[in-house]
Amino acid sequence: MDTEQQHQLETFLQQIRAGALKYAALRCGSEHDALDLLQDTMIGFVDKAADFPQDSWKNLFYKILQRRITDRFRKQQWRTRLAQMFSLSASDDNDQPVFEPADDEHGGHQYEAAELQQAFEAALQTLPDRQQEAYLLRQWQQLSVKQVADIMQCSEGSVKTHLSRAMSALKQALGEWIDEETD
């Protein structure tokens, strides 16, 4: 890899880091685990990036990250099963607190900004994995439906279905706080 490609790669990784970290933290429920996943993803990405045109790097990066997250969940499920088999108490690090909104004098709900963020993250954690992926990649990372479909390895129609169901569930959980814009 020449110095120009190396510079482009470094710039790309700097630009994508914050968004990818937030995505990974929301998907796995832990910023510490997300940092580990992000580091592994960046290492894997650097090894593969030279083989792909620069305009496809974002898709490639999120594919690698998604595989790392999936692998983490599989390992975690396996450990939980082993613990249950041997009657060990497995701790669940992903317990999310439930936040009840405070009623205001008009009978509606009122959230403080921090409470809303916590309520949103808790509601997001209740979504099935594929809905979480579709929502976070499309709405938060602002990837196109086509790019999300490529990363999730499914059809664009499936992405739209997962996204619609996620939006509906989040809207139901959080009320008027969720914008229904999906395109």
Dihedral Cα 147, 153, 157, 159, nearest 10 deg: -70
Residue type, 40: D
Tell whether 159 is covered by a domain: yes
Alpha helix stretches (DSSP H) within 31-144: 31-49, 57-85, 113-126, 129-135
Report yes or no on 6 lying in a domain. Answer: yes
For residue 34, pLDDT beyond 70: yes
Say yes or no: 133 and 73 in one domain.
no
pLDDT tens-digit series, residues 97-115: 333 444 444 444 444 667 7
Same domain as 123, residue 82:
no
Q: How many domains does the chain have?
A: 2
Question: Does residue 171 sit within a domain?
Answer: yes
183, part of any domain: no
Same structural domain, 79 and 3: yes
Q: Domain span at residue 118?
A: 111-178
Query: Is residue 100 one of the residues assigned to a domain?
Result: no
Q: Is there a single domain that holds both residue 64 and residue 124?
A: no
Asked if residue 3 belongs to a domain, the reply is yes
Give the C-alpha separation, 103 to 106, whole Å. 8
What confidence tens digit (pLDDT) does each residue in 36-71 have?
999 999 999 998 998 999 999 999 999 999 999 988
Residue 94 lies in a domain: no
Scan for tokens 């509606």, then name that residue. 108
Q: Say if residue 178's pLDDT is above 90.
A: no
